[in-house]
Structure 1
Amino acid sequence: MFGPLAVAQAFAPVLAANGGGALVDIHSGLSWLATPSAYPSTKSAFWSLTNGLRLELAAQNIQVVGAHLAFTDTPLIAELDVPKADPRDMVAVIYDGLEAGDLEVICDDISRDVKQKLSGPLEALYPQLADN
């Protein structure tokens, strides 16, 4: 989380001096979920940071976009045996969101499904809780 904050702090003055611009933070669909590891917690903190930066930088005409995506074919998840989205497709979706002025871009079906379930009962996200 400190890396993206440092990037925002470095580039925001440059963008503001040039009349504004955009920062895109790449989030995971795990930004909204909990698992028995620290990874989703760091993604959730990053999501919160993005939301705060959006508010802080709006007056400087800087659009801060949070892009949520699940499994994308990158070296980070090369070894996972799961269906993966093409990074070029994800970039195209993000650019479309930027052009539309979106504050948040939900890039793929997995992320859309998770986001939709957030407004439902907790058991929709965590079926194992239904038995308790």
Structure 2
Amino acid sequence: MSWAPAPVTTAAPGPAPVTTAAMARAYARSVVLEHWNNADRTATEAALIDLSLVVSELAANAVRHGGGLAGFEVTPTPQGVRLAVHDNSDVVPDAAFGPGNLPTKHHGSGYGWPVILRLARDIAVDPRPGGGKTVSVLVPLV
């Protein structure tokens, strides 16, 4: 009788943590295509582009102004998807709840928040236990 090592079984690794805007865009799109689209509704390409813009701005803001992207969540809802972006800063952006006007001159602020305010709904900025904040928005897909 010969001896052979027992097979090694490993659990499939979970999804890699989202650490860049590109990863966040790809993940958000995959959630829409795999979990939001169904026989009764399908996100248009225009809606997916809007989603990509919002994801890009939120993730880039977390990296640039929030001390890093500490987490990213996408939750399908009947109206679209809710994004939650966690960062490491307690600072709430000045323009977070503004009118969404585009800047006429560059004074350190860009187009990010105006784009988010124009394309997303139900914007919330909440402190995280232990520091940092979560910016959550609903991006309509219908």
TM-score class, shorter-chain normalisation, is under 0.3
Higher strand proportion, which one? 2
